[in-house]
Structure 1
Amino acid sequence: MEFNKIEVLLEKYFEGETSIAEETELKNYFSSANVATHLEQYKAIFGYFEVSKAQKLTKKPLFVSRKRKINWLAIAASIVVLLGIGTYTYNNMHIAKESKELGTYDNPEEALQATQKALAMLSTHVNVGVESIQYIKVYEVTKEKVFVE
């Protein structure tokens, strides 16, 4: 009778439908000395649980904290950012010095020539704009001739 009950419990165990009390009953049965011969093959399964429970860890596992990795990553990122800012500042210091020196002349003749050059360039651009306005005036006169009200 007990063998039938154990067989039913084994069937439920392999189906994944046993309760903790039923699993304890199976472990107790297979750890005892009076196991049926046709159920001997399952003794190793339930015996393994008892052996593994008795084993203890001798070495401590080496865990690298995830928080430590994140800290190192943050430090590395901030160093890269600081190096980038430092390089940018160093390279742009020369440009800033050059821009401060623009527009100042020690020799009045050089200043006069630079001013005349700038005014000539301005004059050419203004003349282009004036020519464009004359085309608009021609357009207005032509439009008035065509569209007489």
Structure 2
Amino acid sequence: MESHNIEELLEKYFEATATVEEEQILRDYFSKGKIAPHLEQYAPMFQYFSRAKEERFTGQVSLKHGKAYYKWAAIAAVAVFAFGAYFGSGSYRDYREKQLEDQEKALAAYHETKKAFALLAENFSKGTQKMTYLNEFEVTKQKIYNHN
């Protein structure tokens, strides 16, 4: 076969657009001894694919060991879940109680601060009322100085 056709088939093969028949043509070409010198680099790959196709696993697979592992893993998962549900609920309850206590403390501090600001506002109000007397004093003083 012409090397030009083989090159086209190789390009299709590496782009994953080659058909099964074209792949078989490539395997046949590279398994024979007449390979173009510039294509010899692909020969080991196709020869490996041909050999790998013929390999078969003849050993036996034991599936009994895997089932015991899954049983023990399931038992362990249930035990961890039960442990967490039993002991975790108490610690969550404690956490929730502490959170409520903190909210109550924050609310109490808010109310105390509000009282303190109300007291401060009341005292400023008293001070402002006293300032009106000083303003009247200043006006009267100016009247006296202006007449003299």
Name the TM-score class by shorter chain. Answer: 0.3 to 0.5
- Scaled by the length of structure 2, the TM-score of the pair is 0.44
Q: Per residue, is there more helix in 1 or in 2?
A: 2
